[in-house]
Amino acid sequence: MKIICIGRNYVAHILELKNEIPSNPVIFLKPKTALVHQSYPIHYPEFTDDLHYEAEVVLRISKNGKNIPERQAKNYFDQWTIGIDFTARDVQQRLKAKGLPWELSKAFDGSCVVGDFVAVPKETMDTATFEFYKNEEKVQSGDTSLMIYSFEKIISHVSKYFTLQMGDLIFTGTPEGVGPVLPYDELRGTLNGEELLKATIV
Ligand code: MG
């Protein structure tokens, strides 16, 4: 099982981090060991002073595939949820400044939390909304109609490089409003109004 993450998929978030709008999706991976179940506390890593949340819609791959055409991509996932792509932002800025890969800032143990998976309503998935709360303050609001790359485009593009296997997860990018977390913060995510994710930092 692998975790594939899309970076820079919402224009307002690209602008808040002063990045360029990419001509293809930005892709990176997290290992299986990055994943923590939401019922376990997230440990604030000792190597960062600026741990950030990025709330994202997460798709679960339901069928193996390679070189999947966009028009068939819908058939390769059936469940989704809200997840957090935790990022050691200070580490990432240092790596980016040197043109180095991001793994140390994005793929560490506990850098990935997902909520409860539910069936994807395929007819309305391109206009889904999601919210993310830190200590009951709403800090991110997303709308899948604002993604630069649709779910189908992501699946098709990613599968040119990586064979998708049943159970793989795809993080589809975060909207604007990313920010720091601190120990004892309570995090909560909803998708189409349904609460799917609850996590605590320690
Ligand atoms: Mg992200």
The candidate with the shortest Cα–Cα distance to 193, out of 144, 128, 134, is 128
pLDDT at 118 (0 to 100): 98
Kindly list the protein residues that place their beta carbon closer than 5 angstroms to ligand 1, a single-atom ion: 54, 85, 174
* Distance from residue 63's CA to the centre of ligand 1 (Å): 24
Q: Return d(Cα 201, Cα 184) in angstroms, integer.
A: 5
The domains found in the chain, sorted by start residue, are: 3-200 (3.90.850.10)
pLDDT at 12 (0 to 100): 85
* Distance from residue 124's CA to the centre of ligand 1 (Å): 23
pLDDT in tens, 35-55: 998 889 999 999 999 999 999
* Distance from residue 53's CA to the centre of ligand 1 (Å): 8
* Distance from residue 52's CA to the centre of ligand 1 (Å): 10
* Distance from residue 45's CA to the centre of ligand 1 (Å): 18
Mean per-residue pLDDT, 181-190: 97
The candidate with the shortest Cα–Cα distance to 112, out of 28, 10, 49, is 28
pLDDT at 27 (0 to 100): 95
pLDDT at 24 (0 to 100): 82
pLDDT in tens, 19-35: 888 888 899 999 999 99
Characterize 68-98 residue by residue with b for buried, 16 or more Cβ atoms within 10 angstroms of its Cβ, and e for exposed.
Answer: beeeebbebbeebbbbbbbbbbebbeebeee
